[in-house]
């Protein structure tokens, strides 16, 4: 079965067309014209200004301004500079980058080329999630085609512009999706985030100035160059422009990918696009942006999927990986799964994260077994507070937020476990 | 220079330093300004992982780790606010989630930073109900170190030490999260010339030395500052003493000499202090031709009488002197006074040359060879040549390095045995006794006050840490007493 999005937009509209994955097919759709325009007609600073003006936010989870990030790259000095494309997509619930690599590798490469021109980067390392064998293969093939056609390598577009793309496959650790954990892993070291300062723009891959962007972020760039900032700002919300590719999974009739403008209401995505929960059951909760984002209860799904709105409900867009849970779901078991994941994946450097993730997991597992007490609920929140905003990277936050979200909206599930001294959800998924 | 304010007190600090480095440079870290820390060590790279050193900085919303935050001119830092204290409590509580409560049987108890900081900055009661992590106990890391995985708080000082100081990198962090552990790499042992330093920098009882563990509770030890006498470096040490015995050396920080380290062989040289082969009584070769134990006075008198007789009969030209690099400057100065008084000119210094490295270990295996040279004791070879050629009839020898192959080697005793008079002042027994006429026991550097001059000319004081063995005298005292016995002018009276 071909996994193409059910709803498409400028990013994915040609993904059903096999030819689009080839250089010829991509060029037939106007591919690499934007890169040519940028390299031959625009100064690097103008490209950065354009992307800044478009309001494009990073699509890897943090939502930082892409143009601003590019502007941090030093413009002086002879040292090599690098781009890194973060294709480690390891946030549970996220599977958008996979399709963007499998079906749109040239689109992403064109975005990389434009970013390289804008930032003066000498090479791009594409760090592909270890399990993504087929996407890595598709990407490598596209890279080879691009070299063959002179779109990578030396003297690109006859402008003396040089750029190399190196495809690097990871080995399957969640933390290697964190940008400095990724850099360490790329350098052949144990994947664990670096303390900052120094920041990657000064000291990144192999100690050189580096900008790290997500697969989807790069994929938007050719469209912005082709159609302009105003066009881009016309899509989505005022503060969160553009489309994104939502991945919907869990208890829905039609799980899959949906390219939609940012700001599309969550209930529209869940009930109209993904066609709601099967067998007439009700939604209980929805994780809006990958597992590390706090859950929303059924009553809060009218929220537009854009950070400015999601923040009001104490959650975030994250990677746009939407996970739907129906009424049978035990939220304590959900907490067990989530805390187990983070316990297993914590790199173990920072005290709060190393010890906190394990402790959270032990407490929720105890509650699920029916051995919890009322005070455990506040203890969970207290441990989360001790983990939040105190570590090298945001992993500890990512581990604490979902627990806080579950307790914020589903505290009664936890309390019921304590009262009944067992799990009151016999139909929930098995641990 | 940058002006920083810490808890309302203004300091001038060097630009480019982080907050902890600046406080350390100023000498106020944990000595006026309390910023507890585990992973940060002044002589290792910054790790930034224990998160205990978080402080509040004016204008910065989140707490920042003091170890990795560069200072800026005008920076206002607060180390004792409610927010900081809460963060410290959080770290301490989390560190104790998996740490075994085995202080009563842990050898680190009493000098454990986890104990100290838990008391000072932690919470009173554990809220954990789950069993703590079970992990490997009593792991043999190599010839010198035992590792306890359960007690490890993963500050990774040991890992950085091995990579950065000896450069051997035998250990690493394996696994992730709360199941990560320190281990030696496959097929490797923690075995390098500085391996035991990992036990010093380990803030908890995870790494202990095979030599010291379970020998004595540290709260019985009195730490006396001293200097290692293993080589010309003169590394600063604390001598851990109790019951008039030295139980260990641990490095004492001196950035001009040894920073915070000491080599393993230097560390183990504490064993020479109270060893079984120490001289404890004076001896004089009697009429039967064997050494007999005598009083110090008798030995001093015998030495003076023999020297006087020779000078009177043949003049001071037949007397030679061999100094040792193990004596203090005071000992050597007294030797010079005695030799000047006698008119003895044949003077030399015997020290042993051995392995050296780039870090601390010096080739000269004596703490005060440089001091001796500065007092006029040159190479011993001229004296030895005269001795072998029969040009000497008496020799006054400090120590027994002279016997080493680098000086006399095989045949030494034959040559020395031809002497009319051999006076030996030594800390330890040696083959010299087979031919010596007078033996005076001398004190180890740990048993006397004085000064040692290291290879770079840095003069360092030593003071008595333990009582001397038996009748042992500082050589200075012995030489002065011989001089006194010789008469007012020090010469034949």
> What structural domains does chain B harbor?
2-94 (3.10.20.740), 132-272 (3.30.70.20), 282-486 (3.40.50.740)
Residue A399 to residues A336, A361, A420, B290, Cα–Cα distance (Å): 12, 10, 27, 81
Binning pLDDT at 50, 70 and 90, where does residue B455 land?
very high
Substitution target in B17, B19, B178 with the highest count of A β-carbons within 10 Å is B178
Question: Where in chain A are the domains?
Answer: 18-233, 243-326, 331-420
> In this predicted structure, what is the pLDDT of residue B164?
98
Interchain pair A391, B51: CB under 8 A: yes
> Per residue in B169-189, pLDDT tens?
999 999 999 999 999 999 999
Fold of A18-233: Rossmann fold (3.40.50)
Closest residue to B130, CB basis, from A173, A190, A362: A362
Residue with tokens 């030093």: A74
Q: In the predicted model, is pLDDT for residue B488 greater than 70?
A: no
Architecture of domain A331-420: Up-down Bundle (1.20)
- CATH no. for A243-326: 3.10.20.600
> In this predicted structure, what is the pLDDT of residue A103?
96
Q: Chain B partners of A367 at a C-beta cutoff of 8 Å?
A: none
Distance from CA of A194 to the nearest CA of B (A): 9
Closest residue to A350, CB basis, from B49, B127, B176: B49
Q: Which residues pair with B353 in a beta bridge?
A: B364
Please give the ipTM for the structure prediction.
0.92
Closest residue to A357, CB basis, from B49, B70, B177: B177
> Per residue in B235-285, pLDDT tens?
999 999 999 999 999 999 999 999 999 999 999 999 999 999 999 999 999
Distance from CA of A17 to the nearest CA of B (A): 42
B492: its two tokens: 């034949």
Q: Chain A partners of B97 at a C-beta cutoff of 8 Å?
A: 355, 358-359
> In this predicted structure, what is the pLDDT of residue B492?
46
pTM beyond cutoff 0.90: yes
Domain A18-233 and domain A331-420, same fold? Reply is no
Q: Chain B partners of A347 at a C-beta cutoff of 8 Å?
A: 176-177
Q: What is the C-alpha separation between B326 and A202, in angstroms, rounded?
A: 52
Distance from CA of B38 to the nearest CA of A (A): 10
Q: What is the C-alpha separation between A387 and A394, in angstroms, rounded?
A: 10
Point out the residues of chain A with pLDDT beneath 70.
1-3
> Per residue in B195-245, pLDDT tens?
999 999 999 999 999 999 999 999 999 999 999 999 999 999 999 999 999
Strand pairing category for B394-398 and B319-324: parallel
| Percentage of chain B modeled with pLDDT above 90 | 96
| Percentage of chain B modeled with pLDDT above 70 | 99
Residue A132 to residues A62, A169, B314, Cα–Cα distance (Å): 22, 8, 96
Distance from CA of A198 to the nearest CA of B (A): 10
Substitution target in A349, A356, A399 with the highest count of B β-carbons within 10 Å is A349
Where are any strands of DSSP class E within A31-128? 82-87, 123-128
Could you give the dihedral angle defined by the CA atoms of residues B293, B295, B300 and B305, in that order, rounded to the nearest 10 degrees?
-70
């Amino acid at each position: 079965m071909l996994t193409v999005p059910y709803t498409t937009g400028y990013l994915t509209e040609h993904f059903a067309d096999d030819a689009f994955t080839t250089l010829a097919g991509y060029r037939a759709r106007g591919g690499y014209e934007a890169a040519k325009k940028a390299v031959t007609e625009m100064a690097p600073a103008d490209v950065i200004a354009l992307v800044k003006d478009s309001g494009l936010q990073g699509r890897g989870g943090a939502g930082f301004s892409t143009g601003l990030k590019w502007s941090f790259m030093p413009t002086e000095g002879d040292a090599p500079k690098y781009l890194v494309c973060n294709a480690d997509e390891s946030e549970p619930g996220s599977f958008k980058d996979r399709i963007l690599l499998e079906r749109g590798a040239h689109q992403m490469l064109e975005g990389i080329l434009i970013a390289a021109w804008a930032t003066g980067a000498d090479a791009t390392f594409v760090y592909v999630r270890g399990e993504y064998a087929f996407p890595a293969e598709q990407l490598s093939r596209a890279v080879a085609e691009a070299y063959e056609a002179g779109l990578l390598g030396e003297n690109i577009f006859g402008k003396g512009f040089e750029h190399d793309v190196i495809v690097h496959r990871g080995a399957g650790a969640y933390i290697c999706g964190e940008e400095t954990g990724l850099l360490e892993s790329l350098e052949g070291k144990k994947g664990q985030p670096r303390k900052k300062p120094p920041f990657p723009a000064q000291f990144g891959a192999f100690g050189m100035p580096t900008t790290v962007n997500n697969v989807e972020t790069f994929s938007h760039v050719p469209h912005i160059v082709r159609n302009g900032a105003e066009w881009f700002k016309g899509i989505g919300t005022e503060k969160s422009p553009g489309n994104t590719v939502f991945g919907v999974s869990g208890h829905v009739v039609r799980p899959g990918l949906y390219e939609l403008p940012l700001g599309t209401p969550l209930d529209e995505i869940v009930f109209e696009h993904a066609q709601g929960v099967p067998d007439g059951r009700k939604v209980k909760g929805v994780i809006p942006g990958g597992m590390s984002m706090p859950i929303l209860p059924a009553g809060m799904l009218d929220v537009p999927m854009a950070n400015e709105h999601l923040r009001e409900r104490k959650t975030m867009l994250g990677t746009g990986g939407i996970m739907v849970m129906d009424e049978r779901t035990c939220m304590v078991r959900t907490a067990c799964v989530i805390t187990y994941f983070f316990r297993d994946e914590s790199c173990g450097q920072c005290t709060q994260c190393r010890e906190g993730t394990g402790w959270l997991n032990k407490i929720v597992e105890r509650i699920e077994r029916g051995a919890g007490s009322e005070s455990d609920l506040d203890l969970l929140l207290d441990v989360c507070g001790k983990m939040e905003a105190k570590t090298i990277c945001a992993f500890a936050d990512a581990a604490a937020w979902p627990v806080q979200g579950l307790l914020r909206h589903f505290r009664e599930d936890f309390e019921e476990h304590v009262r009944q001294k067992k799990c009151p959800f016999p139909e929930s998924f098995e641990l | 220079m940058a002006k920083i304010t810490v808890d309302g007190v203004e300091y001038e600090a060097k630009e480019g330093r982080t907050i902890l480095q600046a406080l350390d440079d100023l000498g106020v870290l944990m000595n006026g300004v309390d910023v507890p820390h585990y992973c940060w060590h002044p002589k290792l790279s910054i790790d930034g992982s224990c998160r205990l050193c978080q402080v509040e900085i004016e204008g910065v919303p989140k707490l920042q780790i003091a170890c990795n935050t560069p200072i800026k001119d005008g920076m206002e830092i607060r180390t004792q606010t409610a927010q900081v204290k809460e963060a410290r409590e959080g770290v301490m509580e989390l560190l104790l989630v998996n740490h075994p409560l085995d202080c009563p049987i842990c050898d680190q108890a009493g000098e454990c930073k986890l104990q100290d900081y838990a008391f000072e900055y932690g919470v009173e009661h554990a809220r954990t109900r789950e069993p703590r992590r079970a992990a490997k106990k009593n792991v043999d890391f190599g010839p010198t170190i035992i590792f306890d995985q359960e007690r490890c708080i993963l500050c990774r000082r040991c890992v950085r030490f091995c990579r950065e100081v000896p450069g051997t990198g035998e250990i690493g962090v394996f696994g992730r999260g709360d199941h990560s552990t320190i281990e030696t790499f496959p097929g490797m042992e923690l075995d390098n010339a500085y391996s035991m330093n990992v036990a010093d920098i380990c803030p908890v009882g995870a790494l202990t030395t095979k030599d010291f563990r379970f020998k004595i509770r540290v709260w019985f030890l009195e730490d006396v500052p001293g200097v290692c006498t293993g080589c010309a470096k003169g590394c600063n040490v604390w001598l851990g003493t109790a019951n008039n015995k030295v139980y260990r050396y641990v490095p004492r920080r001196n950035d001009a000499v040894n920073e915070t380290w000491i080599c393993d062989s230097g560390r183990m040289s504490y064993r020479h202090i109270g060893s079984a082969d120490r001289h404890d009584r004076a001896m004089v070769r009697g009429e039967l031709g064997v050494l007999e134990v005598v009083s110090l006075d008798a030995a001093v008198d015998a030495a003076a009488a023999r020297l006087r007789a020779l000078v009177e009969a043949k003049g001071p030209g037949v007397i030679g002197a061999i100094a040792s690099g193990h004596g203090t400057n005071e000992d050597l100065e007294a030797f010079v006074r005695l030799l000047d008084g006698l008119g003895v000119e044949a003077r030399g210094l015997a020290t042993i040359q051995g392995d050296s490295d780039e870090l601390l270990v010096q080739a000269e295996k004596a703490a005060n060879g440089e001091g001796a040279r500065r007092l006029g004791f040159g190479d011993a070879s001229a004296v030895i040549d005269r001795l072998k050629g029969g040009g000497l009839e008496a020799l006054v020898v400090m120590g027994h390095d002279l016997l080493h192959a680098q000086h006399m080697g095989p045949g030494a005793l034959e040559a020395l045995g031809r002497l009319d008079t051999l006076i030996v002042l030594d800390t330890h027994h040696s083959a010299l006794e087979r031919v010596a006429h007078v033996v005076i026991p001398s004190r180890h550097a740990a048993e006397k006050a004085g000064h040692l001059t290291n290879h770079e000319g840095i003069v360092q004081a030593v003071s008595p840490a333990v009582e001397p063995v038996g009748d042992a005298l500082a050589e200075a005292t012995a030489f002065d007493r011989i001089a006194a016995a010789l008469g007012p002018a020090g010469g034949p009276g």
